[in-house]
Amino acid sequence: MFAFDPQQFRADNLGSFTDVLRLKSGQSLTVRFVAPHDADVLQSYFRNLSQMSRGNRLMGAASELPPSEIDKATHVGAHNIFAVVAEMNIDGTNVVVAEARYAFDAESSNAEFGISVGDDFQGQGIGSALLSNLECRTAALGAERLIGDTLRNNEGMIALARRLGYAFKPTPGDWKQVRFEKTLVRLVADIPCESWRIAATTSFSANALSYAF
Ligand SMILES: CC(C)(COP(=O)(O)OP(=O)(O)OC[C@H]1O[C@@H](n2cnc3c(N)ncnc32)[C@H](O)[C@@H]1OP(=O)(O)O)[C@@H](O)C(=O)NCCC(=O)NCCS
């Protein structure tokens, strides 16, 4: 029985769910929840994406994130929607190099996600590292499957999903997209994250505990 407690995510404790990942280059990538004060940072990240990357991410021609989406992103956990940014320290400054959003549906035990990596940072393993981290974060919520949809011609996303072992199938109701899906149960032992550790040491996800290894 799923026992996710949305109270776990409060503005004053979001930092405890931060993960520091190691890229193949040896550089650190810090993945953290979007905080309420991050609206401008997030918007400027999206404005700086190339038209193609933004179009692939938002599946449309928007030049920036609509205010309603910013609002969702900066209220982590509301409606079971979670937004993260990934930062790298570049010349002493923390720069947002990627972002992702995931939503969890307790009834189906499915989580869905969208992801982007800044154009200057693509091809360095950041997408792979961030998506692996999302697998752990969503499993800690109780998700049994992680699902994404992308345009059929999005070679980058398809290559990334294939590399991480996702299975492909048609997106219901949209022939221009393809769906990729991965079963999460028992995978997260290889890719630990703070959310998983917190879930395992509190009662916030009964499902997560039942996956104990
Ligand atoms: C898709 C995306 C997230 C991939 O992130 P990334 O950091 O570039 O991915 P990685 O560097 O981890 O690469 C993962 C694998 O995909 C391959 N790959 C990445 N981009 C590719 C491309 N355009 N064409 C072919 N292969 C590609 C890499 O070679 C790598 O495989 P390898 O390890 O066998 O070499 C990034 O390109 C992006 O943000 N695109 C714009 C937004 C978008 O399309 N989002 C998806 C919609 S949900």
Its CATH class, for the domain covering 6-203, is alpha beta
The reported pLDDT for the residue numbered 2 is 40
pLDDT of residue 14: 85
The CA 207 to ligand 1 mean position distance, Å, reads 31
Question: Which secondary structure element, helix H or strand E, spans residue 133, and what is its range?
Answer: helix 126-141
Length of the chain, in residues: 213
pLDDT at 9: 76
Q: What percent of the chain has pLDDT over 90?
A: 70
User: Does residue 114 contact residue 80 with C-beta atoms inside 8 Å?
Assistant: no
DSSP state of 34: P
Convert the pLDDT of each residue in 4-61 to its tens digit. Answer: 565 677 777 888 899 999 999 999 999 999 999 999 999 999 999 999 999 999 988 7
CB-ligand 1 contact for 193 (6 Å cutoff): no
**Residue 55 CA: distances (Å) to CA of 59, 126, 130:** 5, 19, 20
Q: What is the pLDDT of residue 63?
A: 86
Domain residue ranges in the chain = 6-203
Give the pLDDT band (50/70/90) at residue 204: low
Q: Whose CA is nearest to atom 15 of ligand 1?
A: 160
Q: How far is the CA of 116 from the centre of ligand 1 (A)?
A: 9
Report, in angstroms and rounded to the nearest whole number, the Rg of the chain calculated over CA atoms. 16
Atom 6, ligand 1: residue with shortest CA distance:
127
Q: How far apart are CA 108 and CA 185, in angstroms?
A: 14
Cβ(148) – ligand 1 distance below 6 Å: yes
Helix (H/G/I), strand (E/B), else coil: 151 = strand
Please write the tens of the pLDDT for every residue from 109-131: 999 999 999 999 999 999 999 99
pTM (predicted TM-score): 0.92
Residue 162 CA to ligand 1 centre (angstroms) = 10
Residue 209 has pLDDT above 70, yes or no: no
Distance 117 CA to ligand 1 centre (A): 8
Q: Bigger pLDDT: 185 or 188? A: 185
